[in-house]
Amino acid sequence: MIQIIAVSGFDYVGKNMTAIKVDDEVVICDMGIHLENYIKFTEDEDLINVSPEDLKRVEAIPNTKNIEDIKGQVKAIIPTHAHLDHVGAIPYLANEFNADIVCTPFTAEVIKTILRDEKIKINNNIRSIHPNSSFKVSENITIEFINVTHSTPQTAMVAIHTKYGTVLYANDFKFDLYPTLGKKPNFKRLEELENVVAVIVDSTYSRDERKMPSESVAKQMLKDIMLGSYSHEKAIIITTFSSHIARLNSIVQFSKKTGRKLLFLGRSLNKYIKAAEKVGIIDFSKDAEVIRFRGKIYNKLRTVMKEGKEKYILVVTGHQGEPKAILSRMANGETPFRFDSEDFVIFSCKTIPSPLTIEGRKVLEEKLKRTGIRMFKDIHVSGHAAKEDLKDLLLMVKPKNVIPAHGDESMKQGMREICLAMGYEEKQVHLLHDGESVKFN
Ligand SMILES: [Zn+2]
């Protein structure tokens, strides 16, 4: 018997965690934080050493009470990729389980870096398995990492193979045929899967009626501004997601063509770039300087002002207007950097639609506008599947049951409507709330 338990992340976007029980053994897919609740509580977008009890109280990490009775049966914890809403609760919760963490090398490196930086100890082994390979969890469960594209490297769909059939955990992916870094999705393997009992699927953009454009489109948008707009004598400042290594790699390529020196400034940029370098995905060492600590960042900005800002490209943290990030500090005049009119500020991201970030971005943009800068917004393409990609997944995998995940009620309903339009029956689509479960014989 297979039971799928929606531990967390089935009523909103964030703190993803699903338990898959096969007879008397359990694997857990993802163990993430709820970013907005986390930031509200810690005022920090980086993970810091705070107590799990406090984080549970403010609903920043999953509530593991609903799997209390099966904790002892957990055999593996499987984070699918390095985003904090998928791995961020590991430092706080993994110790509750006597199980190894199994993930791709980049994800493993990011987890290890967080633990090391914040001096958090967990007892679990961290095993890294390459995308497109398998791992035997026990006699009865083998997991397979199927390579997919997303907005951070080495993202995998997890196929959990059992004697009752296969469960496919497909949270956070897009089907990008022209990725700018890393491999294409492994469509062949998805088509080959047989007897897929259920798919647990990313519903975030289920109502977005299109196929999500490729990352190469975002790369072209960035190129148009970095190389095609008149930035003569002016600063170029770019802010984007620190974990989006492909996007950072595009910035490195275009920076070289401008002849300007490239600086990455901020703690989280340093964390993800170093992790990607360590596992051999990129090597920025010859083309850019990465500076982590605030004191050194301020010294560097002093040099930039002295030597001439037109000689540099600055990539900084703070795309969502986080008050403690470098861009907010620059806008506040807290750093040695001074904005001039017509300096470039490029937001290579979208605003995350939560009240906290919408307000943060508004405050930041108002401050920046007062300096007379040129602002380039939404130079971005999402890493999530839209409606037509979700249909592709169902056509390829042919699951017997669908469990919409990674979304609020409306997003899950959007996924349900896709299924019904494609001929699924109501009883094959399972809308779960946190704490609920469904069984398949
Ligand atoms: Zn993600």
What CATH number is given to the structural domain containing 231? 3.40.50.10710
* 150-178 mean pLDDT: 98
Q: CA 310 → CA 74, 103, 228, 238, 343, distances in Å? A: 55, 42, 15, 14, 9
User: Residue 340, by phi and psi: left (phi above 0), alpha (psi -120 to 50) or beta?
Assistant: beta
Task: Give the per-residue pLDDT at 441.
Answer: 83
| Backbone torsion region of residue 264, taken as left when φ is above 0, otherwise alpha when ψ lies between -120 and 50, otherwise beta | beta
Distance 203 CA to ligand 1 centre (A): 12
Q: How is residue 46 written in tokens?
A: 């980086």
| Number of domains the chain is built from | 2
Which CATH number characterizes residue 114's domain? 3.60.15.10
For residue 289, how far is its CA from the centre of ligand 1 (angstroms)?
26
| Co-location of 284 and 189 in the same domain | no
pLDDT band at 219 (very low <50, low <70, confident <90, very high): very high
In the reported structure, the alpha carbon of residue 257 is separated from the centroid of ligand 1 by a whole-number distance in angstroms of 30
Distance 179 CA to ligand 1 centre (A): 16
Please check whether residues 316 and 285 belong to one and the same domain: yes
Q: Which of 48, 63, 51 is nearest to 14 (CA)?
A: 63
57-82 mean pLDDT = 96
- CA of 85 from ligand 1 middle (Å) equals 7
Choose one of 376, 406, 432: the last residue of a domain: 376
pLDDT score recorded for residue 100? 98
Q: Which pLDDT score, from 0 to 100, does residue 323 have?
A: 87
Instruction: Please tell me the distance between residue 415's alpha carbon and the centre of ligand 1 in angstroms.
Output: 18
Using the mean position of ligand 1's atoms as its centre, give its distance from the Cα of residue 151 in Å.
7
pLDDT band of residue 209 (cuts 50, 70, 90) is very high
Q: What is the pLDDT of residue 56?
A: 93
Share of the chain above pLDDT 70, in %: 100
**Are residues 190 and 46 part of one domain?**
yes
Q: Tell me, rounded to whole angstroms, the distance of Cα 41 from its chain centroid.
A: 20
Each residue's pLDDT tens digit, 47-56: 888 899 999 9
CA of 183 to the centre of ligand 1 (A): 17
Tell which of 323, 353, 376 closes a domain: 376
Q: Are residues 167 and 189 in the same domain?
A: yes
Q: Do both 269 and 335 map to the same domain?
A: yes
Q: Which structural domain range is residue 359 located in?
A: 215-376
Residue 426 and residue 363 share a domain: no
Report the 10 Å Cβ neighbour count for 22: 22
The secondary structure of residue 323, as a DSSP letter, is T
Shared domain for 207 and 234, answered yes or no, is no
**What is the structure's pLDDT at 42?**
79
Angle between helices 245-258 and 267-278 (to 10 degrees): 100
* 205 secondary structure, DSSP code: B
Asked if 371 and 392 sit in the same domain, the reply is no
Query: Is residue 322 predicted with pLDDT exceeding 80?
Result: yes
One domain for residues 194 and 305: no
pLDDT value at 158 more than 80? yes
pLDDT (0 to 100) of residue 41: 84
Entry pTM? 0.96
Same domain, 71 and 123: yes
Please tell me whether residues 230 and 361 are part of one structural domain.
yes
Q: Ligand 1: distance of its center to the CA of 228 in Å?
A: 31
Residues 170 and 287 in one domain: no
Residue 46 has pLDDT above 80, yes or no: no
* End-of-domain residue from the set 321, 341, 376: 376
Burial of residue 358 (number of CB atoms within 10 Å: 0-12, 13-18, 19+)? middle
Distance 107 CA to ligand 1 centre (A): 11
pLDDT surpassing 80 at residue 18: yes
> Separation of 172 CA from ligand 1 center, angstroms?
5
- The predicted structure's pLDDT at residue 355: 84
